[in-house]
């Protein structure tokens, strides 16, 4: 039994598999600190348990794998001046790192919405299984935040400039596109997810089972935009990328102008941070990427845009944020760099 009390995540050993079930359906399995701590503790125990050959992470929700972290709670803590504001992120990032280097095969069954913190639970596992119900996004720039939970590592390793495109736009992908960018390793029909879980539980290793259930999701719509994405989303200057989108003509012109309007509505500081993450992430180890993200979050939570973004999107729902600064042209490169170089008051993340 876990010593961390929570009713929102369940653990069981079924056959050869340790099965983790996210079970907070009313909140679309949004992560809380007790959920993070409970999973961390159980994974430590299962790593040393010879009865557990591999781990499977799944969801009890019909709609979501995990829609993210409990950002509203973090907002309220910050507004109230409560201590321990970065505790959730510190422990969440350590859990992401644990999954990345887990000593036993780890499979995530992503049969629904997977955003933010849900990506951190799934993207770093060796086996990432999605269905036609899978909906991936890292939409954090919309709330004055940034694509964390290992986004620095994941987005920087996506093909071409798709990582920069997704980081700056918060774009949503379905299963064929998720396979195209490497977020998913396998695609399986949603109707067979229960059967797949049962088969995994009697197997010593997930590899052959996943291959037996694999289906072709068809052509990836994103592939048709790759030439434009790879041409437009190049370089280190977010303002220049936005300008190229705004003047794009031809068959991609309408798409580019609509995308420019979407990016212009995001937090300019967050958009610049997200692009910088993608540019440096390829040269960082996973652990160094997580340390960098802890530096970023520690500084963002001291600023204005995160609280304004959460107010606009989740509280007042007016979708009329007042960003500071208001445009990419006004963003200070030195201020962006400070997010990556300033050591938090409690020190760098230990992973």
Helix, strand, coil fractions of the chain, as percent rounded to 5:
50, 10, 35
Dist. CA 109–CA 193, nearest whole Å: 8
In a domain, 90, yes or no: yes
**What single-letter DSSP state applies at residue 110?**
E
In a domain, 160, yes or no: yes
The predicted model gives 67-90 an average pLDDT of 93
Instruction: Report the range of poorest mean pLDDT among 4-13, 250-259, 322-331, 334-343.
Output: 4-13
Dist. CA 59–CA 142, nearest whole Å: 26
Dist. CA 146–CA 167, nearest whole Å: 8
> What does 184-236 look like in DSSP terms, one character per residue?
-SEE--GGGHHHHHHHHHT-S-SHHHHHHH-------GGGGGHHHHHHHS-SS
Dist. CA 188–CA 204, nearest whole Å: 20
Is the pLDDT at 63 greater than 70? The verdict is yes
Name the maximum alpha-carbon separation found in the chain. 60
Query: Cα 73 from chain centroid?
Result: 18
In a domain, 1, yes or no: yes
Is the pLDDT at 94 greater than 60? The verdict is yes
In a domain, 350, yes or no: no
What is the number of domains present in the chain? 1
Is the pLDDT at 127 greater than 70? The verdict is yes
The answer to whether the predicted template modeling score (pTM) of the entire model surpasses 0.85 is yes
When pLDDT is cut at 50, 70 and 90, the band that residue 350 belongs to is: very high
Question: Which positions are catalytic?
Answer: 69, 117, 140, 148
Residue 239: give its domain's CATH number. 3.90.226.10
> What are the pLDDT digits (tens) for 226-258?
999 999 999 999 999 999 999 999 999 999 999
Dist. CA 217–CA 175, nearest whole Å: 7
When pLDDT is cut at 50, 70 and 90, the band that residue 1 belongs to is: very low
> What are the pLDDT digits (tens) for 265-305?
999 999 999 999 999 999 999 999 999 999 999 999 999 99
pLDDT at 6: 79
The predicted model gives 59-67 an average pLDDT of 96
Give the closest residue to 146 by CA, choosing from 124, 166, 125: 166
In a domain, 351, yes or no: no
Dist. CA 10–CA 26, nearest whole Å: 16
In a domain, 349, yes or no: no
pLDDT at 3: 67
Is the pLDDT at 5 greater than 90? The verdict is no
- Phi, psi angle pair for 68, to nearest 5°: 135, -165
In a domain, 58, yes or no: yes
Give the closest residue to 45 by CA, choosing from 92, 69, 12, 84: 12
**What single-letter DSSP state applies at residue 265?**
T
């Amino acid at each position: 039994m876990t010593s961390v009390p929570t009713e929102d995540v369940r653990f069981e050993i079924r056959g050869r598999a340790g099965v983790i079930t996210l079970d907070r359906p009313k909140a679309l399995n949004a992560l809380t600190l007790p959920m993070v701590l409970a999973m961390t503790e159980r994974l430590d125990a299962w790593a040393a348990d010879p009865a557990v050959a591999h781990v499977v992470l799944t969801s009890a929700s019909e709609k979501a794998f995990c829609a993210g972290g409990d950002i509203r709670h973090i907002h309220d803590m910050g507004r109230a001046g409560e201590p321990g504001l970065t505790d959730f992120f510190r422990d969440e990032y350590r859990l992401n790192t644990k999954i990345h280097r887990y000593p036993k095969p780890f499979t995530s069954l992503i049969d629904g919405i997977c955003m933010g913190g849900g990506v951190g639970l799934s993207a770093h596992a060796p086996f990432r299984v999605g269905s036609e119900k899978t909906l991936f996004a890292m939409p954090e720039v919309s709330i004055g935040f940034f694509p964390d939970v290992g986004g620095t590592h994941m987005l920087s390793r996506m093909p071409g400039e798709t990582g920069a495109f997704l980081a700056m736009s918060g774009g949503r992908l379905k299963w064929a596109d998720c396979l195209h960018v490497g977020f998913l390793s396998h695609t399986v029909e949603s109707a067979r997810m229960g059967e797949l879980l049962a088969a995994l539980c009697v197997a010593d290793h997930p590899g052959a089972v996943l291959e037996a259930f694999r289906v072709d999701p068809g052509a990836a719509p994103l592939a048709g935009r790759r030439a434009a994405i790879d041409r437009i989303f190049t370089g280190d200057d977010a303002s220049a990328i936005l300008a190229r989108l705004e003047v794009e003509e031809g068959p991609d012109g309408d798409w580019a102008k609509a995308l420019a309007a979407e990016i212009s509505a995001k937090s300019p500081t967050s958009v610049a941070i997200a692009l910088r993450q993608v540019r440096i992430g390829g040269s960082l180890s996973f652990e160094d990427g997580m340390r960098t993200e802890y530096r970023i979050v520690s500084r963002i939570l001291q600023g204005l845009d995160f609280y304004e973004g959460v107010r606009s999107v989740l509280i007042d729902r007016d979708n009329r944020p007042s960003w500071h600064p208001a445009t990419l042209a006004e963003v200070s490169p030195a201020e962006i760099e400070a997010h990556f170089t300033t050591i938090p008051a409690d020190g760098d993340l230990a992973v």
